[in-house]
Structure 1
C-alpha cells in the first residue's frame, strides 16, 4: 500500500477554519481516475486536487480537480490553494510564477507572501461567456425562497455566465434579502440551464450592499444536486461573474479591482479578489486571487 502525502488548506482567507477547505494530494503517481474519485469522496470536501507531473516540462504540474461526485474542468479555490501548496513545498517564500495544467487548459499562477500569509493569483484560462438563457424572475425568486420584488438592483438583472463552470447570477436588493435565501433544489433543477455534458448551473446570489466597507459585492453560492449545498468561497463563480460586472457596470478601459465577500451566512467568511482588464468595452483579461492557510497535513494510505 502506497503512502501519499496530503495537505489541507483553508482558501480565500487568512484565518484557519474559515474560507473554503481544500485537500491537496501531492504524491499521485499510479492513481487512475476512479481512484482519485474515491479519494475525493473519502475527504468529502467540496473539492480535492491531485498533483501529477506536467505534460509540458516548462510547467509546474498537472492538476486534476474532483468533487466527491465528479471531476471539474476548473475551479477557483482549488487553483489558489494548490498553487500556494506547491509554492510552500519548495520551502521558499520568494515570489514565484508558474503554470498549472488543468482540464480547462494552462492556468498561469503567481504566488507571494505578505505578513506571513500566502497569496495566489491566477489568470482566467477562459473569459466569461453568456450562453442563451431566458429566466422568469418569479420562478428564480421562488427557487430561492424570495419574492419577485426582491430580485434585481439598479440595472442588474438575472443573467447566465460561464468561464468554464456555469452559473446563474441572481442580483438581490441587499444584505437582508441575501440572508433570507432558502435554496429549493427541486425548483432550481426545473429552471436552471445545463451545459451539455456538465452539471446544472449553480445559483450565484449577489448584492451591492456589503458587510465590509472595502468589498464591492456580497455573494452566496448554491450548488444543486443530491444533496445540494452552499459553498463558502467560489472562485469559478467570480470568474463567471466578471461577465456580469462588465455587462451591467461597464467598467472603463484599463484595470479594475473588486473584493467580493462570501461565506458570511455560513460562519466561514471569505474574501476573493477579482481584477478585470477592459479594452474597447470588453474584457481582455481577468485574474482571481486570494490568501490561503494550511490547517492540516498527513499521509494517506491508498
Structure 2
C-alpha cells in the first residue's frame, strides 16, 4: 500500500537546519512493530504516524517513534505535524490564516495553534499537556562530569544544579558553566548509562544547557543526548525544553507574570534550531506553558508498505 509522507525541518525557518521529522499521513492499519521498523529505517530523531482521532472534533491522533522506542509526547513532532496537517488541508499557494487544532497523543489531547503566511515559514505552538515536575532521583556530579568529558567544576552555574524533570518525557537537566563548556563536551554513552537513572519506562536522557547563546537573542544554549532512544545527539528537543521550563522556574525563582524564553540547540551539529518557550507564572507556580517554532517542508514521497 502506498502511504504518503513528508519530511519537515522543525524549529527552523531554513531548510536543512533544525530537526528533521518524517510525517506519515496514513498510519492506519500499521502494527506497532511496523511503525517502529519504519522509524528505524528512516533514522530520523522521530517519525510520526497520523491516524484518525478518537474524538471526531479533534484533528488527528498521532504515534511518535524514535529509532529506538515510542514516545508518549514530543515537541518537534507536535510542531511539525500540526504544520504538516495544516498545510496539507489549507496551505494552498497564497494561504494566509490562523488555525487551532487538537492533536491526540499518548499523553492526551494537545492544543495547537498554527500560523500560515505567504512567503514565510509556518509557525506552530502548543500548550504543554503536562506541567513540568521534578523527579526525586539523585545525580552524581562527578559521574555526570565524566560522562560529558568535563571537569566537575564545569557542572552548575549560580544556584542551578543537575536535576531530573519531566513534562511527559524525563530528562536529566544539566547546567554547565558557560558556552565554551557546552561546545567542548564529549558525550560518552557508556558512562552515561552507568550514572543515569531509569524513569517513566526508559533511561533518562541528558539535556545540557548554559545561559546565553551563539545567537544573541537566545536566553539559553543547549545540547541533548539520548542513547536510550537510539539518538546520539538531537538538533532540537521540545519535550526537553518543556522539562527545562521546570528547572528555569525553580532555580531562577521566576516572579508571577509572563516570561518568554528562546532556547537554541543543534548549533554544534550544524543544524541551528530555535525553540520558543512561554511560561505564565501565577502564585509562584507555572500555570501555563507553551512551546513553538517554525517548520519547513523539504521532501515528499510515498512508503510502499
TM interval, shorter chain, is over 0.9
Question: Over residues 243-296 of structure 1, what are the superposed CA-to-partner deviations in whole Å (9 max), with x where a residue is unaligned?
Answer: 001101122212110000000000000000000111101111111100000000
Deviation at 1:116?
Answer: 1.5
Which residue matches 1:147?
151
Runs of 4+ residues deviating >3 angstroms: 225-228
Equivalent runs, 1:57-206 vs 2, <5 Å: 57-92=56-91, 93=95, 94-114=97-117, 115-196=119-200, 198-206=201-209
User: For 2:50 and 2:231, how far apart are their aligned partners in 1?
Assistant: 27
User: For 2:173 and 2:232, how far apart are their aligned partners in 1?
Assistant: 17
Question: Over residues 170-202 of structure 1, what are the superposed CA-to-partner deviations in whole Å (9 max), with x where a residue is unaligned?
Answer: 111111100111111111111111114x22111
Aligned length: 300
Which residue matches 2:34?
35
User: Which residues of structure 2 form unaligned runs of 5+?
Assistant: none
TM-score (norm 1): 0.97
User: For 2:228 and 2:188, how far apart are their aligned partners in 1?
Assistant: 11
Question: Over residues 94-120 of structure 1, what are the superposed CA-to-partner deviations in whole Å (9 max), with x where a residue is unaligned?
Answer: 110010000000000000035521000
TM-score (norm 2): 0.96
Secondary structure at the aligned position of 1:28 is classed as: coil
Deviation at 1:227?
Answer: 5.7
Secondary structure at the aligned position of 1:130 is classed as: strand
Which residue matches 2:4?
5
Deviation at 1:224?
Answer: 2.1
User: For 1:209 and 1:39, how far apart are their aligned partners in 2?
Assistant: 37
User: Which residues of structure 1 form unaligned runs of 5+?
Assistant: none
Answer with 169-178 or 131-140: which moved more.
Answer: 131-140
Task: Please say if residues 267 and 273 of structure 2, whose CA atoms lie closer than 8 Å, have aligned partners that are also in contact.
Answer: yes
Question: Over residues 149-178 of structure 1, what are the superposed CA-to-partner deviations in whole Å (9 max), with x where a residue is unaligned?
Answer: 111111111111011111111111111100
